[in-house]
Amino acid sequence: MKSPIIQCQQLNHVYSDKPALCNVNFELDAGDPIGLVGPNGAGKTTLLSILSGFLRPTSGTVRLFGHPPGTAQLNGKVSALPQDARLDPSFTLTEQLFFYARLQGMTGQQATLEASRVLEEFALKDAAHEKPPVLSHGMAKRAAIAQALIGNPSLVLLDEPTAGLDPVNVRTVRAVIAEQSSTTTFIISSHDLTELDRLCRQILLLENGSLQTEKIRTDEQQTASRFITLQMEACPALEVIAKLKVLYGVLQVTNPQKNEFIVEYNPDLQPNMDQQLMQTIHTNHWQYRQLSHGKSLEEKLFFRDGNGTKN
Amino acid sequence: MVITIYPKLQFTYTRFFSGQSCYKTSLNREAKIMQPGFFNHLLLISLFELKRAFATRKGMLSLITFAVVWYFILLYPLRFAAELLVQEKGLKQDFGFLDFIGFGSIQHWSIPEFGVFWHFALIIFPMLSITLAADQTSSDRERGTLRFIVMRSSRDRVFFGRFAGVMVIQALLIGATAFSTFAMALYRDATLLSSALPNLLVLIVNLILVVLPFTAMMAALSAQVKSARQATVWAILIWTFMTGIISGFAYYLPALAFLKLLIPGYQLSELTQLSGWQTLQLAYIPVLQGLILLAFGRWIMARQAL
């Protein structure tokens, strides 16, 4: 029987009388990247810190691969990108990554190759012999992510991996995660829902220190209708809504943001709604930007009544 | 509980070309990797600290400063004092003045240079230890670097590895200063070689034991405070108040005099009165203090949020 890689039971953490996590229970299996989302102060970093062994929970139990976090048995199996952690300013990137690889049990030769590999993956080969103080924010961030991938760990916890990175580097990080996700389970905490939407099929939603599950479950049970998200170029919103609403099979059209429309439809009545929408766009000479099935993660998590109002 | 986002993006119409990534990885999961043991990690971590002390700009600057200061101590106070002692020994004068200032035991050392070195070293190295060993984990913890290391090791290994590294650095400095004094003595009289070597060994072993509790105290403080400066300030404050309070208690309640054993460096005043192999009579005190302080430091480290 496949055992979960993470087990949290009755997890609580309190910072000087202020609760950060309240009775968090969950189990995660190895697989696709898992997103960890929630507003500021929801407890995401606290949860990742406990999973990484940086913080002891006030109460409750945590097991990674059957072992408590921070134990030597997890060396090389679990890795993390802690939020705001910086590398040692006294040593070059290569020296530090070499040292980390050695700590993971690699020989000197293996450690040299591995340090070089992860730096190359994040386009940092030219900066390999630089010390952290001379690196830009983006380079330092990529170096910090690179250290997390030394030795191909089975579980990688990433706290805000793309925060502060430019789009090119975000794409680099995304590509590496996507490529390694076949062998490594990533847990990614981020405010960038678009990014998580692209990478993750599972989401943990934390709000006020508690895992929110009920609202999402209700949403999942709505199998009778489907959604299509339509992003348009500048267009007459009222006219678009009016014309889409009258299409066969459409149940509701909402306009949560400027030039973005969510079409709720009955797939039994109109299974080819996407083609019908494309036809309407073409007929009316509108310019569209993107059409995608389903609602965006932002809509699913925070604006579930479909009217752009937060639950 | 896991929330599963139901299937999405079965296909997407987009006007933007999404190029394929061209990253290649040479994953070597198959490569045989042995899990390192406790002592292996201790060695790796302490070697990294040695590298920090001897192969980084900041470390080199500290070493050069120490070397310059030691050069002047060796060249002037130490050499002149030793020459004076040699002359006075020849004149068979009494050593009443040295007794008066607490340096009387210098006359018991067969090699005056070592006698003078012993007294200087007993003051310099504990002070050096309080500054040199102040940043064992504090700045790395504040910067977050310790998290990268702890993910691959354990808190115990990092704590003891850093402590071992700083002890080795101090042992090397003690060795270097003792050897320079030894060289100075041989320069004066080359026939002292055979008698000087055992004394050299005694000095080095003793001084390493002397700095042991100070280094352990700094390891414990460093695990608690936010910077090296804070650790040094706290060390001075704690040491001063602890000495004052325990001495006060011991004065009014002599039965509590044993508590003085808890004060790092408590044996130093007695050590200055001893010479040669006699100095090892008190070795149990720093060893005991070191063990207690290390256990306390380990307890702090295990509970500290990183």
Domain C-terminal end among A193, A212, A231? A212
Provide the pairing of β-strand A288-293 with B12-14.
antiparallel
Do B148 and A71 count as a contact with CB atoms less than 8 A apart? no
* Contact criterion met (CB below 8 Å) for A118 and A97: yes
pLDDT score recorded for residue B271? 81
Q: Residue B161's closest chain A neighbor by CA? A: A103
Q: Do A70 and B154 touch (CB under 8 A)?
A: yes
Report how far residue B116's alpha carbon sits from residue B122's, in angstroms, rounded to the nearest whole number. Answer: 10
In-domain check, residue B79: yes
Same domain, A150 and A274: no
CA angle B229, B230, B236 (to 5 degrees): 95
Q: For residue A308, is pLDDT > 50?
A: no
For chain A positions 31-90, those within 8 Å of chain B (CB to CB) are: 34, 49, 52-56, 70-72, 75-76, 78-80, 82, 84-90
Q: Does A184 touch chain B (CB under 8 A)?
A: no
A71, A17: one domain? yes
| Beta carbons within 8 Å of A147's beta carbon, 6+ residues apart | A79, A81, A87, A96, A97, A100, A118, B148
Helix or strand holding residue A155 (H, E) = strand A155-159
Residue B161 belongs to a domain: yes
Chain A to chain B Cβ contacts (< 8 Å): 172
Residue in chain B lying closest to A201 (CA): B5
Examine the domain organization and report whether A63 and A37 are in the same domain.
yes
Instruction: Return the residue in A2, A47, A88 with the most chain B beta carbons within 10 A, the one to mutate for interface testing.
Output: A88
Residues A118 and A181 in one domain: yes
Query: Is B244 inside any structural domain?
Result: yes
As a whole number, the mean pLDDT across chain A is: 86
Q: Beta strands A59-64 and A6-15: pairing type? A: antiparallel
Do A147 and A277 sit in the same domain of this protein?
no
Would residue A310 count as lying in a domain?
no
**Pair A226, A67: CB distance under 8 Å:** no
Last-in-domain residue among A212, A240, A255: A212
**CATH number of the domain residue A261 falls in:** 3.30.70.100
Judge: A179–B25 Cβ closer than 8 Å, yes or no.
Answer: yes
User: Is position B77 within any domain?
Assistant: yes
Residue B14 domain flag: no
Residue B200 parent element (H or E): helix B193-224
Question: Which pLDDT score is estimated for A272?
Answer: 87
In tens digits, chain B (306 residues) has pLDDT values of 444 443 333 333 333 333 333 333 444 444 556 778 889 999 999 999 999 999 998 899 999 999 999 999 888 888 887 787 777 665 555 556 556 655 666 667 778 888 888 888 998 999 999 999 999 999 999 999 999 999 999 999 999 999 999 999 999 999 999 999 999 888 888 888 888 898 899 899 999 999 999 999 999 999 999 999 999 999 999 999 999 999 898 889 888 888 888 889 888 888 877 777 788 888 999 999 999 999 999 999 999 988
**A21 and A166 inside one domain:** yes
Average the pLDDT over A52-81 and give the result.
Answer: 91
Return the residue of B nearest to A106 by Cα: B33
Which residues sit opposite A28 in a β-bridge?
A6
Domain count, chain B: 1
Q: Residue A41's domain spans which residues?
A: 6-212
Structure tokens at B167: 């002890």
* Reported ipTM: 0.81
pLDDT score at B1: 46
Q: Does A280 touch chain B (CB under 8 A)?
A: no
Q: Which residues of A touch B50 (CB under 8 A)?
A: none
Q: Is residue A260 situated within a structural domain? A: yes
Residue A121 forms contact with B (CB below 8 Å): yes
Which residues of chain A make contact with B140, given a CB cutoff of 8 A? 88
B 135-164 near A (Cβ less than 8 A): 140, 143-145, 147-155, 157
Nearest residue of chain A to residue B56 (CA atoms): A90
- Residues from chain B that touch A293, judged by Cβ atoms under 8 A, are 8-12
Q: Does B25 touch chain A (CB under 8 A)?
A: yes
Does residue A72 register a pLDDT over 80?
A: yes
Task: Give the pLDDT confidence of A97-108 residue by residue, as tens digits.
Answer: 999 999 999 999
Helix (H, G, I), strand (E, B) or coil at B270: helix
Within a domain: A276:
yes
Do the domain assignments include residue B64? yes
pLDDT band at A61 (very low <50, low <70, confident <90, very high): very high
- What integer pLDDT is reported at residue B125 of this predicted model? 94
pLDDT for res B61: 92
Mean pLDDT of A148-156: 93
Q: Which among A75, A154, A280 is the top mutation candidate for probing chain B, defined by the most B β-carbons within 10 Å of its own β-carbon?
A: A75
pLDDT band at A159 (very low <50, low <70, confident <90, very high): very high
Residues A72 and A145 in one domain: yes
Do A51 and A133 belong together in one domain? yes
When CB atoms are compared, the residue of A105, A152, A274 closest to B34 is: A105
* Segment A5-50, tens digit of pLDDT: 999 999 999 998 889 999 898 888 888 899 998 888 888 999 999 9
Domains of chain A: total: 2
Name the residue in chain B with its Cα closest to that of A101: B152
The pLDDT, as a whole number, for residue A125 is 92
CA–CA gap between residue B64 and residue B70 (Å, rounded): 10
B-chain residues near A184 (CB < 8 A): none
Same domain as A145, residue A58: yes
Would residue A244 count as lying in a domain? yes
d(CA A99, CA A75): 14
Q: From the CA of A263, how many Å to the nearest CA of chain B? A: 14
Question: Quick check: B132 and B170 in contact, CB under 8 A?
Answer: yes
Domain boundary among A171, A192, A212: A212
Nearest to A117 among B26, B45, B56 (CB): B26
Out of B10, B13, B157, name the one closest to residue A290 (CB). B13
Predicted pLDDT at B25? 40
Question: What DSSP designation does A92 have?
Answer: -
The verdict on residue A294 lying in a domain is yes
Q: Is B36's Cβ below 8 Å from some Cβ in A?
A: yes
Residue A58 lies in a domain: yes
Closest residue in B to A223 (Cα) is B6
CA–CA distance from B298 to each of B110, B211, B230, B304 (Å)?
Answer: 42, 18, 19, 10
In a domain, B62, yes or no: yes
Residue A62 confidence (pLDDT): 94
- Record: contact B23-A175, CB cut-off 8 A: yes
| Domain boundaries, position B59 | 38-303
CA A108 to CA A200: how far, in whole Å?
36
| Residues forming a β-bridge with A36 | A189, A204
The nearest alpha carbon in chain A to B142 belongs to A85
State how far the Cα of B78 lies from the Cα of B83, in Å rounded to an integer. 9
Query: What pLDDT was estimated at residue A132?
Result: 94
Hey, are the CB atoms on A179 and B23 less than 8 Å from each other? Answer: yes
Q: Which residues, listed in sequence order, are joined to residue A157 by a DSSP beta bridge?
A: A80, A187
Whether B72 is in a domain gets the answer: yes
pLDDT band at A309 (very low <50, low <70, confident <90, very high): very low
pLDDT in tens, A164-220: 888 888 888 888 998 888 899 999 998 888 788 778 888 888 888 888 764 454 344
Strands across the sheet containing A6-15: A18-28, A6-15, A59-64
**pLDDT value of residue B81:** 77
* Cα radius of gyration (chain B): 26
Residues A208 and A230 in one domain: no
Rounded to an integer, what distance in angstroms lies between the CA atom of residue B108 and that of residue A149?
62
Contact between chains at B44 and A102 (C-beta distance less than 8 A): yes
Restricting to A residues 127-166, those with a Cβ less than 8 Å away from any Cβ of B are 144, 147, 151-152
Instruction: Answer yes or no: do B147 and A34 touch at CB < 8 A.
Output: no
Same-domain pairing of A64 and A200:
yes
| Domain identity same for A85 and A129 | yes
Closest C-alpha to A177, from A3, A33, A4:
A33
